[in-house]
Amino acid sequence: MKANLGNREKISFILKELITNHNTTSIQDVFSNEYIVHTSKKDYKGHKIIIRWAKDLHNFFDNLKIVKIQFLVQTEEFIVWKRTLRGKIKASNNKNLKTGKTIQWDEMIVSKFKNGFIIEEWNNSEFLGALISKPN
């Protein structure tokens, strides 16, 4: 990764690495060692949660894609942004999930930067709603 990337470019870069390229080796270039993410259920610390998130998505979905990244608000310290992801559900032991069904969902993220690294994030995801929603 180029060291002189701006914060928006770092977000776009790492998302492409994790989702498109299935590559977790650049995590330490973008995320602080003290990284913490706050979700609606729990707070998670460290790089391992990012690796697990990316691995779980790829294990669960075929054809996982970044549909859109929208940067909504930016200051020197914070970026508020939204990502839209899409994937086709892989076969699993869960009989309630329709194999081959394509779902798309949005996630709203607030990323806090310190010394050029993402140190903290707040993530609100519509993933479960998209997963269990019935077609119209």
Nearest to 37 by CA among 46, 24, 27, 26: 46
Nearest to 123 by CA among 83, 87, 91, 89: 83
Task: Look at residue 128 in the predicted model and tell me its pLDDT.
Answer: 80
Residues in the chain: 136
pLDDT of the chain, 136 residues: tens digit per residue: 555 789 999 999 999 999 999 999 999 999 999 999 999 889 999 999 999 999 999 999 999 999 999 999 999 999 999 999 999 999 877 766 788 889 999 999 999 999 999 999 999 998 888 877 765 5
Residue 111 β-bridge partners:
79, 121
Q: Are 77 and 113 in contact (CB under 8 A)?
A: yes
Task: Look at residue 2 in the predicted model and tell me its pLDDT.
Answer: 53
Tell which phi-psi region holds residue 118, choosing left (phi > 0), alpha (psi between -120 and 50) or beta.
beta
Domains belonging to the chain, first-starting first, are 7-132 (3.10.450.50)
